[in-house]
Amino acid sequence: MSAVGRDEEIEQWLEDISGWKGLWVESETETRLLQAFRQVLQAMPADLCGQFLALRPVVLCTPEPAVVIDRPWGPMIYFAPTISRMTDQNLVDRVAHEIAHVILGHYRQGIGLRRSRCEAEADELSRQWGFCPRYTQAMLRRLEAQEEK
């Protein structure tokens, strides 16, 4: 995928999701969220960007925490409206983490991985793209301990 082709595909996908009524946030937060997606998609390797865009994920902003789930026609990424209170960098890092979940296939039903492992894998992949992890090692250990119960 050429740089021009990538930019055009990113812009088309952003136009598609911004026209969809799933973003229930004020326009400033929507603009920041779309800019965060643009920044991450341009920073990640072209082949992975193409893989993500080919899945045509839908983005929702609802009162639930950020998660990625499967739907019959592809992945869906949910963000809580509290993203409006995040700094720009925290929002970009969160978007990178959620995109990593999509790339890793964590949205698929029955993948058989514990949440702690999925979160660690998503953090590692987004870190490879130059973004900060969402979870500290202590947070991952607590999550693992909860899973053991």
Confidence (pTM) = 0.86
Residue 29 tokens read as 């937060």
The predicted structure's pLDDT at residue 93 = 97
| DSSP string covering 50-77 | HHHHHH--EEEE-SSPPEEEEETTEEEE
Q: For 14-34, what is each residue's pLDDT tens digit?
A: 888 776 555 555 678 888 888
Domain range summary for the chain, segments of one domain joined by +: 3-148
- Euclidean distance between CA atoms 118 and 106, whole angstroms: 7
Check: CB of residue 79 under 8 Å from CB of residue 101.
no
Check: CB of residue 32 under 8 Å from CB of residue 88.
yes
Give Cα 146 to chain centroid, integer Å: 24
- Euclidean distance between CA atoms 134 and 100, whole angstroms: 11
State the virtual CA torsion across 70, 72, 77, 81 in degrees, nearest 10. Answer: -110
Q: For 68-124, what is each residue's pLDDT tens digit?
A: 666 677 788 888 888 889 999 999 999 999 999 999 998 887 777 888 999 999 999
Q: Which DSSP symbol is given to 66?
A: P
